[in-house]
Every structure is written in structure tokens, then in C-alpha cells.
């Protein structure tokens, strides 16, 4: 059986936005701008994700974005991407027509920033398969999440494995 493994990096595109709030250091309400730099803090079994905002005087404010479970403590998910996988980054896609000889595509979810439905995430990451085709495959069981049948609207979590059977 011909299988290709990819690691999926799912990031929701975010505009650099601004937030008006009290700066404790400045002692007044000011405009905080998103630096688009993000950091992860591990606390027990959860990883907290923050966006770093700065006021005009460079005081930082960490805006909590998301919390997700970690299978081990103090792990930055970015460091978990095994090098033998093809990593799908932003603006990069799995090209479906190049995969005709394959039986199975395996996608390991290495980074999830934001909320992603299975069908939408795959449609955005795979070129040559429409969202509708993906929905049909999920319903037929040709696409499995963690080896199980799921709904197309199922939310994707960190470390999920998606199997796409092509034949």
C-alpha cells in the first residue's frame, strides 16, 4: 500500500489588529497593537497560546487566544514536527492530482491555531478536491479522523490523524 504522510499546520489568518485598553505601565488607556508574534505556555496538560500586543511605549500585553491539550508537558508543538514528514505550511497545498499512485494520504495535525472543521481544513489544504467531494468522502468513510467515522463538521484537534483513502 502506497502511503504518503504529511504534517498539517493549521493557522487561522489574523490581521494585525489593535485593542484599546488600559496599560498598567503607562497608567492610562492606550492602543495595543498585535505584534503577530505568538507564544505558547505549557501548564500541566494544557498549552496556552497568547498573542503578544504592544502599547506605543512597547509595554506588552499577552492576549489569550486558545487552550489546547498537550500529550506531554512543556512541549512547543512546533518542535514536534518530525522531519521525515512533508509539512504543509500556509500558502502550500497537497496537490491531489500528483497523488494518483497513492492509496492513502495520512495527515498528522501538528499545529492548530484557531478553530477548524475537518471538511474546511482539508478543502483549504488539498488542491484538486472540492469541499463537496471531501464531504462525500467523509460521509462514505473514505476519510477517517483518528481511525473513526466523523461528521464533516468535526473540529480538528492537535495531534489528530486524518486518513484519506484514495482507492
Which one of 26, 29, 31, 95 is in contact with Zn ion (CB under 5 A)? 26
DSSP code for 155: B
What distance in Å separates the CA atoms of residue 57 and residue 95, rounded to the nearest whole number? 46
Cβ-based neighbours of 136, under 8 Å, separated by 6 or more: none
Does 118 help bind Zn ion (rule: CB under 5 A)? no
Asked if residue 59 binds Zn ion (CB under 5 A), the reply is: yes
Q: What is the DSSP string of 11-50?
A: E------EEEEEETTTTEEEEEEEEEEEEEEEETTEEEEE
57 binds Zn ion (CB under 5 A): yes
Complex with Zn ion: residue 23 or 135, whichever CB lies closer: 23
Q: How far is the CB of 53 from Zn ion (least distance, A)?
A: 10
Quick check: 117 binds Zn ion (CB under 5 A)? no
Please choose, out of 7-15, 49-57, 89-97, 133-141, the segment that lies near Zn ion by the rule CB under 5 A.
49-57
Looking at 21-29, 76-84, 100-108, 131-139, which segment touches Zn ion (CB under 5 A)?
Answer: 21-29
Stretch of residues binding Zn ion (CB under 5 A), selected from 18-26, 78-86, 93-101, 114-122? 18-26
Burial 13-41 (b: 16+ CB within 10 A, else e): eeeeeeeeeebeeeeeebebebeeebebe
User: What does the binding site for Zn ion look like in residue numbers (CB under 5 A)?
Assistant: 23, 25-26, 55, 57, 59
Amino acid at each position: 500500500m502506497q502511503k504518503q504522510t504529511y504534517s498539517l499546520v493549521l493557522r487561522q489568518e489574523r490581521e494585525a489588529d489593535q485593542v484599546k485598553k488600559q496599560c498598567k505601565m503607562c497608567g492610562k488607556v492606550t492602543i495595543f497593537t498585535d505584534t503577530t508574534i505568538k507564544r505558547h505556555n505549557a501548564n500541566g496538560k494544557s498549552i496556552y497560546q497568547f498573542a503578544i500586543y504592544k502599547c506605543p511605549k512597547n509595554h506588552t500585553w499577552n492576549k489569550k487566544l486558545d487552550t489546547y491539550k498537550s500529550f506531554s508537558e512543556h512541549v512547543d508543538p512546533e518542535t514536534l514536527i518530525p522531519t521525515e514528514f512533508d509539512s504543509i505550511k500556509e500558502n502550500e497545498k497537497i496537490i491531489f492530482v500528483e497523488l494518483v499512485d497513492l492509496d492513502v494520504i495520512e495527515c498528522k495535525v501538528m499545529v492548530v491555531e484557531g478553530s477548524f472543521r475537518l471538511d474546511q481544513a482539508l478543502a483549504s489544504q488539498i488542491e484538486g478536491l472540492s469541499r463537496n467531494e471531501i464531504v462525500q468522502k467523509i460521509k462514505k468513510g473514505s476519510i477517517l479522523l483518528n481511525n473513526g467515522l466523523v461528521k464533516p463538521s468535526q473540529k480538528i484537534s492537535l495531534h489528530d490523524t486524518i486518513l484519506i483513502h484514495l482507492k
